[in-house]
Structure 1
Amino acid sequence: MGLATIQVATNNFSNQNKIGEGGLGLVYKGRLAEGKEIAVKRLSETSVQGIVELVSEVALIAKLQHRNIVTLLGCSLEQNEELLVREYMPNKSLDMVLFDSSKSMRLDCKTRRKIVHGVARGLLYLHEDSHLKIIHRDLKAGNILLDDDMNRKISDFGMARILGDNQIVANTNRVAGTYGYMAPEYVMEGIFSMKSDVYSFGVLVLEVISETKSSHSHAIEPGQTLLASAWKLWSHGRALELMDASLKQSYDADRVPKCIHIGLLCVQEDAKNRPCMSSVVVMVGGNGTELPGPTKLMSLAGRALSILGSDKPLL
């Protein structure tokens, strides 16, 4: 897709078309001549790291085809512009709906379960069902996009990495992602794997149920992280107290505690104890599935996460 086409579609990147802003640049809404709506990520001129991530994202998304993965439509590297064009998602990102009290009422319990299930299926595709073994490394509410019907798609693959067929884990000297969603072994040792994505998914599940950011303390347990609150309430048989009040009219007394239970299984400190995404998909979508008990959060990792807990990207 050429630069001229994108400029016309976005009215030359007018402020009226701006729909998002991140550390790497801006996102604009556009409309092609045939009427198709698009979203354009425009990297800032000073973002050297952003260029690397754009190339990585293009290389990865172009090879992926799944209903829960955002669709790449094109890119442009003309005239010192670095642009990524993807399908437009009218409801923007999950965090903009979930953490806005005026919008979150649209997310009843059934819709939230569908979001959780869709993200789980998208991750399963990345980990096991595509022809690549992809670790997202930055799964969070801000990277889950929603269409008109609140259908969910995983986006932003700039930090993603591919593992070899026989490779289980890898490590890096540059820890990149978003604190609060990052697994303890990744934060402290730079080790990432499918299980570190599972951890991020678990955090996301607890956020969707509680409507509380991972970096914030829960109202029922002031001063404690969301994860610590979830564990304490669940272990004392009070799991439903983690649920946001807005869900009280639509919640399922069996499914909500089950979602919290699954979230806690996914955020266990030892990566070996976390389920794989194929098991998670069965847990989320199945009825009557007996779940193992999660292990208690260890104090060392808990303190580290409290210190590092933030919904800001680490670049």
Structure 2
Amino acid sequence: STVTLTASNGDNPSRRNTALAVVLSLSGLLLLGIGVFFLWTKFFRNKGRSQSTRPLTSFDSSNPLAPVQDRSMEEDSSQSKGLHDVTLFDMATIASSTDNFAAAAKLGEGGFGAVYKGELGGGQKVAVKRLSKYSTQGLDEFKNEVVLIAKLQHVNLVRLLGCCVHGEERILVYEYMENKSLDMLLFDKARSAQLDWPKRFDIVLGVARGLLYLHQDSRFKVIHRDLKAGNILLDGDMNPKISDFGVARIFGGDGADSHTRRVVGTYGYMSPEYAMDGVFSVKSDVFSFGVLVLEIVSGRKNRGMYSSGEQTSLLSHAWKLWREGNALGLLDEAVASGGDRESEEVLRCVQVGLLCVQERPEDRPHMATVFLMLANLSALMPQPRHPGYCSDRGSTSTDGDCSLSCTVNEITLTVVEGR
């Protein structure tokens, strides 16, 4: 009995140690499993929340032209601080403000979609641009316009109030401009008389100020690339505001030309080097401005005109009158003849317009010089050289030999190979 008791007492510590080791091991495994389970559920819960709340596009305010990338909400929030006062509207608010995009609320339609008149709570009137699902303006252009306009603040640039992304819908909300776009008045013979010469000259000066701001005085040097009468909006006092920055580009500070294989814009306003070779610079906008000035003076589009039974362009017609010493003959018949000062302003606008549309980019003045020549009637101006159009043929074809002078006033997307 004594021997057995001694053996039993000798085994007890070993068994207790083994049991304790087993219990501790099981407890450790259990705690590890519980920890892994909680980490796993937390990870997938956060991932699901991030995916469900992440915006469809991320706006990089430091580089509006960067490709669209997915970011977490925290990253997107920090990048969106540059959006200033841009509001994100929900689709229900937009639909309600436009009476569900009613035909009666439609203000017009362009290459990128329709524009509707809307009214927000409190009676604020807005212009709602609903991008077409089949538009060539995609997410990059939409993002570009939102970020770029949010950073550009000038009295002669249209103000963006907010945007909306809902499913495939991409919507921009602008300040409402009572007199719509310049082309709706300028090229309508029944309404063009509302634009007397003082108003037209003020519009020219206002657009010049806005373009000078984009090229020189804004935080970024911006090339609009689609300056035309349809993208100049008029408020209740006929003050002009440049709009539609979907294809605008931020330019480097070295002043060098840039090349692109994706030529976007409107034929009839594009400079020859841009339309034919994909080369663009601030001088491309200067060319478009020159075309616009000649259109404002004449009340005619830079496309098919008929003179002596032959179809010609506004640029060639203006050049012909200038060389004959009859530049005042370009003035719109709807504009009543004024005094000597108005005649001098007309002549100066024609000369500035021809200087801006010269064929060689290096011959065209910068916008700072353009504004000085327009605002100061005593400023000396050089004589213009031949305008930058390829021919005076009356073809509206964009194949083969390019004729900027007679192409249609519609938005165009073309792919060219730079030489």
TM-score range with shorter-chain normalisation?
over 0.9
Question: Aligned partners of 1:275, 1:299: CA distance in 2, in Å?
Answer: 18
User: Over alpha carbons, which structure has the higher Rg?
Assistant: 2
* Per-residue CA distance 1:236-285 (angstroms, 9 max, x = gap): 10101111111233461211011000000000000000000001111111
Gaps of 5+ in 2: 1-88, 394-401, 414-419
The partner residue of 1:182 within 261, 267, 270 is 270
Q: How far has the Cα of 1:306 moved from its partner?
A: 5.0
Contact 2:268 2:405 in 1 (8 A): no
Q: Secondary structure at the match of 2:354?
A: helix
Following superposition, which runs of at least 4 residues in structure 1 exceed 4 angstroms of deviation? Answer: 218-222, 298-303
Aligned CA distance change for structure 1 residues 181 and 48 (closer, same or farther; 3 Å): closer
Question: Aligned partners of 1:132, 1:118: CA distance in 2, in Å?
Answer: 20
Q: How far has the Cα of 1:16 moved from its partner?
A: 1.2
Q: Secondary structure at the match of 1:165?
A: coil
Name 2:27's counterpart in structure 1. Answer: none
* Per-residue CA distance 1:154-179 (angstroms, 9 max, x = gap): 00001100112224321110111000
Question: Aligned partners of 2:283, 2:388: CA distance in 1, in Å?
Answer: 17
Q: How far has the Cα of 1:305 moved from its partner?
A: 2.5
Question: Aligned partners of 1:159, 1:128: CA distance in 2, in Å?
Answer: 19
Question: Aligned partners of 2:344, 2:281: CA distance in 1, in Å?
Answer: 31
Note the 1:135-174 alignment, pairs <5 A: 135-174=223-262
Moved more, 82-91 or 158-167: 158-167
Q: Secondary structure at the match of 1:76?
A: strand
The partner residue of 1:205 within 265, 284, 293 is 293
Note the 1:15-26 alignment, pairs <5 A: 15-26=103-114
Question: Aligned partners of 1:48, 1:212: CA distance in 2, in Å?
Answer: 28
Moved more, 239-248 or 113-122: 239-248
Question: Aligned partners of 2:391, 2:224: CA distance in 1, in Å?
Answer: 22
Name 1:90's counterpart in structure 2. Answer: 178
Question: Aligned partners of 2:411, 2:286: CA distance in 1, in Å?
Answer: 18
Aligned CA distance change for structure 1 residues 280 and 56 (closer, same or farther; 3 Å): same
Name 1:239's counterpart in structure 2. Answer: 327
Letter in 2 for 1:123: L
Question: Aligned partners of 1:299, 1:121: CA distance in 2, in Å?
Answer: 26
Moved more, 68-77 or 159-168: 159-168
Name 1:312's counterpart in structure 2. Answer: 410
The partner residue of 1:268 within 358, 362, 366 is 358
Name the Cα RMSD after superposition. Answer: 1.8
Contact 1:126 1:133 in 2 (8 A): yes
Contact 2:313 2:405 in 1 (8 A): no
Contact 1:269 1:301 in 2 (8 A): no
User: How many residues end up aligned between the 2 structures?
Assistant: 315
Question: Aligned partners of 1:236, 1:47: CA distance in 2, in Å?
Answer: 44
Name 2:142's counterpart in structure 1. Answer: 54
Contact 1:218 1:229 in 2 (8 A): no
Contact 2:271 2:388 in 1 (8 A): no
Q: How far has the Cα of 1:50 moved from its partner?
A: 3.6
Letter in 2 for 1:85: V
Moved more, 96-105 or 217-226: 217-226
Q: How far has the Cα of 1:26 moved from its partner?
A: 0.9
The partner residue of 1:256 within 333, 346, 349 is 346
Higher RCO (C-alpha under 8 Å, 6+ residues apart)? 1
Question: Aligned partners of 2:406, 2:327: CA distance in 1, in Å?
Answer: 25
Question: Aligned partners of 2:309, 2:367: CA distance in 1, in Å?
Answer: 29
Q: Secondary structure at the match of 1:254?
A: helix
Q: Secondary structure at the match of 2:311?
A: coil
Q: How far has the Cα of 1:77 moved from its partner?
A: 0.6
Name 2:65's counterpart in structure 1. Answer: none
Between the aligned residues of both structures, percent identity stands at 52
Aligned CA distance change for structure 1 residues 237 and 167 (closer, same or farther; 3 Å): closer
Name 1:296's counterpart in structure 2. Answer: 386
Contact 2:112 2:136 in 1 (8 A): no
Gaps of 5+ in 1: none
Is 1:27 the counterpart of 2:125 in the alignment?
no
Q: Secondary structure at the match of 2:151?
A: coil
Q: How far has the Cα of 1:25 moved from its partner?
A: 1.4
Question: Aligned partners of 1:21, 1:306: CA distance in 2, in Å?
Answer: 23
Aligned CA distance change for structure 1 residues 240 and 175 (closer, same or farther; 3 Å): same
What is the TM-score of this pair, normalised by structure 1?
A: 0.95
Question: Aligned partners of 1:272, 1:299: CA distance in 2, in Å?
Answer: 16
Contact 2:313 2:406 in 1 (8 A): no
* Per-residue CA distance 1:194-241 (angstroms, 9 max, x = gap): 000000000000000011100122657852211001011001101011
Letter in 1 for 2:387: L
Question: Aligned partners of 1:218, 1:63: CA distance in 2, in Å?
Answer: 43
Moved more, 55-64 or 125-134: 55-64
Q: How far has the Cα of 1:53 moved from its partner?
A: 1.8
Question: Aligned partners of 2:364, 2:325: CA distance in 1, in Å?
Answer: 21
